[in-house]
Structure 1
Amino acid sequence: MTLSPELLDLPAPHAQAVAPPRHTRIAGVGTAVTPESYTQREVLDLFRITDPKIRSVFLNSAITRRHLTLPPVDADGNRVAEPQGELLAKHTRLAVDMALRAIQSSVDDAGVGLDDIEYLCCVTSTGFLTPGLSALIIRAAGMDPGCHRVDVVGMGCNAGLNALNGTAAWARGNPGRLAVMVCAEACSAAYTFDSTMRTAVVNSLFGDGAAAVALRAGDHTQAAGPRVLGFASHIITDAIGAMRYDWDTDQNRFSFFLDPDIPYVVGAHAERVVDRLLSGAGLPRSAVRHWLIHSGGKKVIDAVRVNLGLTRHDVRHTTGVLADYGNLSSGSFLFSYERLLREQVAEPGDHGVLMTMGPGSTIETALVQW
């Protein structure tokens, strides 16, 4: 007796195997912020900061306004320092709310719904939760509890591209199925109060925000957004402690640390990783029309721009996001991506480079093509 290929679940003798899609496409993007925003001068005045050196750090940051959720005031009108437990509760509340709105916006942009999401990757570095954001978001949104999920926690400002790499790979391995990555950073839940310049730099820089992208692979996505062609990464191991978020014994809470020299360290290594990214596609740097770089701060942006030979126009969205929102940590580059789409200048065949920088010290890059 001979069994047919159908009964054995094997391909027929002359059937041609269907090759999996080579690339994932970005089908939609969405962003969200917290309700209140403040100019740098308003923040200084609300906290009654008069030290001229600290005021100079805030007012010369190239940041005009940031979305922040400030602590309550006491009977004398002074802002009360929130203990670590209250900060974690704030992180949960803000991150879930922003993430839900960013995810909804991204699936709306892709022309699909929350019920279509089969893989959810959640990124955050401004709070620690168990269970993670993914479980809280799936419950709050009423999504399918069978949705595949992963949480990327503690990787810092570069984490958006680390997570995009894995999310794009899942979509590529599951053609036609929708994957969503969301970065939710409640930076208002990650601060300290003291009179040091270390704290002043950090407190002058970060803002609250979330950004999400919807990804799909397969023939039906050919009319959607850019293809994700590849990734390249570089860890500057000699500067592994130059950017960190760790426990401050004096403050009895977690706090950020940024080495003053980190902009120049990142800038000096930017060419290496970008050229490796482009060499994999056989492209010269001049072939890249769109640059979407993490809004890490004025000095970081300038250092990367100079070392890569970019113009101010090339980084207009990066500097624009910094001015309007501050450093949004892992989701900053997606705010720039959204602005580029609104310009409607990207044409079929255009190449773009996405770049993030963060603890490690790490530079992450991705190559996309419209």
Structure 2
Amino acid sequence: MNAQVISPSHLVLSKSLNLKSSSNTFQNGVRIPQKHSYSSIPPSCRPLPCPNHNLSSRPFFYCSTAGGRHSDQSAGEGAPPATVASILSIGTANPDNIIYQDDYPDYYFRVTKSEHLTSLKDKFKRACDKTMIRKRHMVLNEEILKDNPNMCEYVAPSLDARQNVVVPEVPRLGSEAAAKAIEEWGQPKSKITHVVFCTSSVVDMPGADYQLSKLLGLSPSVNRFMLCQQGCFAGGTVLRLAKDLAENNKDARILVVSSEVTVPNFRGPSEANFGNTVGQALFADGAAAIIVGSNPDPAVERPLFQLVSAGQTFVAGTEGHMHGHFGEDGLNFKMSKDIPDTISSNIGEILKRAFSPLGISDWNSLFWISHPGGRAIVDQLELKLGLDKEKLRTTRHVLSEYGNMSSACVLFTLDEMRRRSAAEEKTTTGDGLEWGVLLGFGPGITVETIVLHSLPIPN
């Protein structure tokens, strides 16, 4: 008998949202084909095998009957109905402290008192040069590190010192991004019905969702969801959960927040675990916030993208590829060099499952919102999928200017896409195209896939 893993999304749908599994009609009236109805989705997560095996994954949620085919023009007859969840605003925030990548090897080996490790420093410098990163933002500075020298060791008891920084900082940074999203949305905070918060940077009770709600002055009765320790793919997870909430709770407006800082995983260099040391050249701090809702009010709300479908899967046998463990020395990462090849080798089949209901098979006809991960991942995606160079330019820009901010990264990329599209006078928020994809990936290896529908940019 095969063991089954209960799907968190299934539990949310069947319990938290009180959906009837026998029905294929949402509470808001959107009807979906029977083959994509919730009753056909088992409460299990079937693994996606490695590249040399036959592929199998849990079905995606298809929340629109539009069935429209791809168009290079702005949204037309095939556009999903307004009852499909929309992104109504986006806000981002970063710490003021900026680290330039060219300076980082000298800085890193100086603050960790590792300058005597000259060959390791040279190796690290070469790794920094290959990252395609220009700068990063970080909460940690020399003053904090001088006051907490154990953080600078590769392994030393330092969890309490790290917690003292992240417990207040994670919700604070998240509230800064949220305030920007709320301001752009233009509606009173009292209309926010749900908060979905994700972070891999802190575990504390009451959680960062509670602290954020207090900082923003949200209603004590706001419905909160706190997601911890999911890693980089959680940027897609929170949007998937927000979509379910928006489409199944009348007048719901969901505040989605991702806030990530590198305080838990900063540590001195290690030759034995050089993968972790390479991570010191990649990871950075940032927060992003998004307002999600269905049936936007055209008088006061300006939707940016529609969340047409969403799904999650994992690649079997890869749980050791990307592993993080919290201990007395903080969060220690181990990352395999096989990550880029594993992700890029499986994305093609995942895309087929997501876009076949729309009749889309040309990946260059889409606009791309991909978690940057690292340069090797971006390069391999481009190569394996045969993408034109400009398809991942937004992803590359975010990686260059911000580094890998874990779950917040893909939301920064979404923000950059709509801003760049407007600045370049494109017809839609998705680089002038109608359909797009948002990809988040992280430990598992887990992949979140969201089919996006762009919206026209007003003249």
**Pairwise same-fold verdict (TM > 0.5):** yes
Cα distance in structure 1, aligned partners of 2:311 and 2:386: 19
Measured at CA, do residues 346 and 145 of structure 1 come closer, stay the same or move farther in structure 2, by a change above 3 Å? farther
* 1:123 has 2:123 as partner: no
Deviation of 1:341 (Å): 1.1
Distance 1:287 1:25, change over 3 A: farther
The residue identity in structure 2 corresponding to 1:236 is: V
Verify the 8 A CA contact 2:258 2:407 in the aligned structure 1: yes
What corresponds to 1:313 in structure 2?
A: 390
**TM-score normalised to structure 2 length:** 0.72
In the alignment, is residue 303 of structure 1 matched against residue 376 of structure 2?
no
1:110 positional shift: 1.7
Q: Secondary structure at the match of 1:66?
A: strand
Match of 2:138 among 47, 57, 68: 68
Q: Distance in 2 between matches of 1:366 and 1:268?
A: 18
Matched residue, 1:355: 439
Distance change >3 Å, CA 18–CA 214, structure 1 → 2? closer
* Separation of aligned partners in 2, 1:184 and 1:150: 14
Change (3 A) 1:219 1:287: farther
Q: Distance in 2 between matches of 1:152 and 1:78?
A: 31
Report Cα offsets for 1:146-165 as digits up to 9, x if no partner. Answer: 00000011111001111211
CA pair 142-22 structure 1, distance change in 2 beyond 3 A:
closer
Give the direction of change, closer, same or farther, for the CA distance of 1:273–1:80 in structure 2 (3 Å limit).
Answer: same
* Whole-Å separation in 2 of the counterparts to 1:287 and 1:72: 45
Structure 1 residue 342 and structure 2 residue 423: aligned? Answer: no
**Matching of residues 182-201 of structure 1 within 5 Å:** 182-196=257-271, 197-201=274-278
Percent identity, aligned pairs only, is 23
Runs of 4+ in 1 over 6 A off after TM superposition: none
- In 2, are the aligned partners of 1:172 and 1:216 still within 8 Å (CA)? yes
Task: Give the conservation status (yes or no) of the 8 Å contact 2:245–2:252.
Answer: no
Per-residue Cα deviation, 1:50-109 (whole angstroms, up to 9, x for no partner): 42111111222111100012254599x798333111112222232112100111111222
Structure 2: state its 5+ residue gaps: 1-26, 31-81, 152-157, 455-459
Quote the Cα distance in structure 2 between the aligned partners of 1:87 and 1:18. Answer: 45
Q: In structure 1, which of residues 42, 46, 54 is the aligned counterpart of residue 107 of structure 2? A: 46
CA distance in 2, matches of 1:123, 1:18: 26
Distance in 1, Cα, partners of 2:90 & 2:339: 30
Matched, 1:58 2:128: yes
The count of aligned residue pairs is 351
The residue number in structure 2 matching 1:8 is: none
What is the TM-score normalised by the length of structure 1?
0.89
Alpha-carbon distance between aligned partners in 2 of 1:203 and 1:138, rounded to the nearest angstrom: 31
Q: Which residue of 1 aligns with 2:451?
A: 367
Structure 2 residue 320 is the aligned partner of structure 1 residue 241: yes
Kept in 2, the 8 Å contact 1:234–1:364? The answer is: yes
Match of 1:252 in 2: 329
* Paired residues of 2:363 and 2:385 also in contact (CA < 8 A): no
How far apart in 2 are the matches of 1:289 and 1:95? Answer: 34
Contact between 1:38 and 1:67, CA under 8 Å: does it hold in 2?
A: yes
Q: Report whether the alignment pairs 1:97 with 2:172.
A: yes
CA RMSD of aligned residues (A): 2.3
One-letter amino acid of the structure 1 residue matched with residue 100 of structure 2: T
Matched residue SS, 2:263: helix
Deviation at 1:139, TM superposition (A): 1.3
1:273 alignment partner, SS class: helix
* Distance in 1 between residues matched to 2:411 and 2:365, nearest whole Å: 18
**Residue 29 of structure 1: aligned partner:** 90
> Does the alignment pair 1:230 with 2:309?
yes
Code of the aligned partner of 2:230: M
Indicate the SS of the match to 1:310: coil
CA apart distance, 1:182: 0.7
